[in-house]
Amino acid sequence: MNGWIEFKVRVRERLRIFALDILKLSELLPDTKRGNVINYQVTKSGTSSYANYRAAMRARSKAEFYSKLCIVVEEVDETEMWLELIITSDILNNDLTQKLHCESLELLKILASMRKNISKTHSPDSLQSPQPSQSPQPSQSLQSPQSPQPLQSNN
């Protein structure tokens, strides 16, 4: 297995553990109106980040991987926001909540960096799957298409 694939597998495992810990947290949140609303939201975003990353890993093209990865970044960012609200509102400020909040920030940095690196090294046209004769290399540098020329005014 190459380094890029191993890295993606390690990130997937971290997201799986994160989702499992979010499910543990959901059992600890109070059964109140605000607790139930936030419980639903944090559980949904915290577990869908794992589901969407798994979908990204099964992407049929680089463009599809990038698209799914963007969704994962949004879901982890939303989860971080809900965790921050749980802590600052004193709904549940315990070790697990603190640990999950720290992990959400770390995952967000990792995933946003992955997204940024993919968008920097691949132009939109190059995010398509390679031809069968080519082997995909994550560090492969592809040229950006030429910028379109501005339209001439006929005034």
Q: Which of 45-54, 111-120, 127-136 has the lowest mean pLDDT?
A: 127-136
**35 SS3 class:** helix
**Which residue do the tokens 């944090």 mark?**
42
- From residue 79, give the alpha-carbon distance in Å to each of 50, 87, 104: 12, 12, 7
Q: Is 90 left (phi over 0), alpha (psi -120 to 50) or beta?
A: left
Asked if the structure places residue 154 within a domain, the reply is: no
How many domains does the chain contain in total? 1
Taking the C-alpha atoms of residue 78 and residue 83, their distance in angstroms, rounded to an integer, is 9
Quote the domain boundaries for residue 74: 3-124
CB of 102 within 8 A of CB of 82? no
Do the domain assignments include residue 43?
yes
Q: Is residue 20 part of a domain?
A: yes
CATH of residue 88's domain is: 1.20.1440.60
70 has pLDDT over 70: yes
Q: What is the pLDDT of residues 86-131, one digit of tens each?
A: 999 999 999 999 999 999 999 999 999 999 999 876 655 544 444 4
pLDDT at 21 over 70: yes
pLDDT of residue 94: 98
Q: Do residues 75 and 34 make contact, with C-beta atoms less than 8 angstroms apart?
A: no
Q: What is the band of 35 on the pLDDT scale with cuts at 50, 70, 90?
A: very high
Q: Which is more confident, 104 or 148?
A: 104
* Model pLDDT, residue 123: 53
Q: For residue 131, tell me if it sits in a domain.
A: no
Residue 1 is predicted with a pLDDT of 67
User: Which pLDDT score, from 0 to 100, does residue 135 have?
Assistant: 36
**pTM of the entire predicted model:** 0.77
- Whether residue 77 is contained in a domain is answered as yes
Q: Is 43 helix (H, G, I), strand (E, B) or coil?
A: helix
pLDDT confidence of residue 9: 97
In a domain, 99, yes or no: yes
